[in-house]
Amino acid sequence: MPSDPWRALVQTFEATPMPGPLNGLRVGVKDLIAVKGVPRLLGAPELADPRPQPRDAICVARLRRAGAAIVATTATHPLAYGIVTPQTVNPRSPGRIAGGSSGGSAAALAAGLVDGALGSDTGGSVRIPAACCGVVGLKTTLGLVSVDGVQPLAPSLDTVGPMARDVATTARLLAALLERHPGACDPAPPPTLRIGVPLQARRSRLDAEVRSVWHTVLDAAASAGAQVIDVDLPALDDSSLANGRVLAAEAARTHARAFAASPQRFPADVRERLAAAHPLDSPPVRAARRVRAELSDQLARVFDRIDVLVTPTLPCRIPPVGVDPVVVDGHRERVVSAMTRGTNSWNLVGVPAGSVPAGVDSDGGPVGMQVVGPWHGEATVLRAMALIEELCGGPWPPVAGSVS
């Protein structure tokens, strides 16, 4: 069982694995995803149905059929609408946030409590905590992995994705989620890789240490034979805000009845976002959908010339617990805006994107790189992530001494 600092990470229970390609793999499941016989508390017990779930979500059932041992449910930011997971400690940087909303899954991996995990990602909720906790996380193509049995937040953006301490295990989990041959998603050594670097990302505000790690990764990839190509995605500048508006509008619709009945029962940060949401048919949300169409068209053209995009997962060092706003490249910025600035865009257009540890800052905090691929290009994304993992000396082991 976890020691005291980790009790908020997981709710453990007995599970007997079946023979299969994931036999012996201990998996944690974000407490937004149904696990048979276990309450789904959503990080907000006061809003959740406390009764045990009658059946597994499809994604959980598929992991069980592949032999995984479902050993824990993991903490989430309330209703998966946030990027902190305040009840969870970051094992690699205890004074800094674990990220969210799948913070419990990332922290449990970093602490060695589980070997693999499931998270959900609507604006970065797999990739952000993976970057914060120094693990691997993959946001899948919209609709690729079933969300049946997963509490919705924003249905046109919600995805389920695998997380692990290494890219190879992440690929094994994905194969099981898709019920494919165990080697179907293996990140085999890539052929000549064409890496795109958005000009908009080059011009964006980044902490100097994050930019340095990014440039080091790009230089190392080029030295290993990859082509590094600047690409122009004009709609990228507006896409993070656009995703936030669609997300807020759909989340307000998802929780409309409960919010109208008892808004005071919602955690303060979630309540603030739901109250500020524009209606789904409002001009700002219609404009956001136009940005989605523009960026989708631009990406389709760009992916004719490149295989993946590579950017920092986060523009900043991992924020200290309780600090908001943060300073990024000399500018004050709300934590939620800063942390989702590099991830939101890819939910808006539904493409796959993963985060892999690539370095550390001057205090030893993880710095993650994000790899973005074309629709249904998970195999290419995983190959590029495996290359970065190899070039950067990964995978990272669990934190020594964090489990008793």
Residue numbers annotated as active site: 30, 101, 125
Give the separation between CA 140 and CA 305, rounded to whole angstroms: 22
Question: Element (H or E) spanning 74, and its range?
Answer: strand 69-74
Q: Both tokens of residue 118?
A: 């499931």
Give the separation between CA 152 and CA 32, rounded to whole angstroms: 8
Strand pairing of 26-30 and 69-74? parallel
Q: Residue 91: name the closest of 113, 107, 109 by CA.
A: 107
Give the separation between CA 73 and CA 93, rounded to whole angstroms: 22
From the CB of residue 300, how many other CB atoms can be counted at a distance below 10 Å? 12
Q: Residue 186: name the closest of 197, 198, 172 by CA.
A: 172
Give the separation between CA 54 and CA 325, rounded to whole angstroms: 42
Give the separation between CA 112 and CA 6, rounded to whole angstroms: 11
Give the separation between CA 103 and CA 328, rounded to whole angstroms: 22
DSSP structure string for 77-146: SGGG--S--TT---SSSTTB---SSSHHHHHHHHTTS-SEEEEEESSSTTHHHHHHHT-EEEEPPTTTS-
Give the separation between CA 230 and CA 110, rounded to whole angstroms: 34
Q: Give the orientation angle of helix 378-391 with respect to helix 167-177, to 10 degrees.
A: 160
From the CB of residue 159, how many other CB atoms can be counted at a distance below 10 Å? 25
Strand pairing of 353-360 and 366-372? antiparallel
Give the separation between CA 384 and CA 357, rounded to whole angstroms: 13
203-216: b or e for each residue (b if 16 or more CB lie within 10 Å)? Answer: ebbbbebbbebbeb
In degrees rounded to 5, what are phi and psi of residue 300? -60, -40
Write the burial class of residue 318 (CB in 10 Å: 0-12 exposed, 13-18 middle, 19+ buried): buried
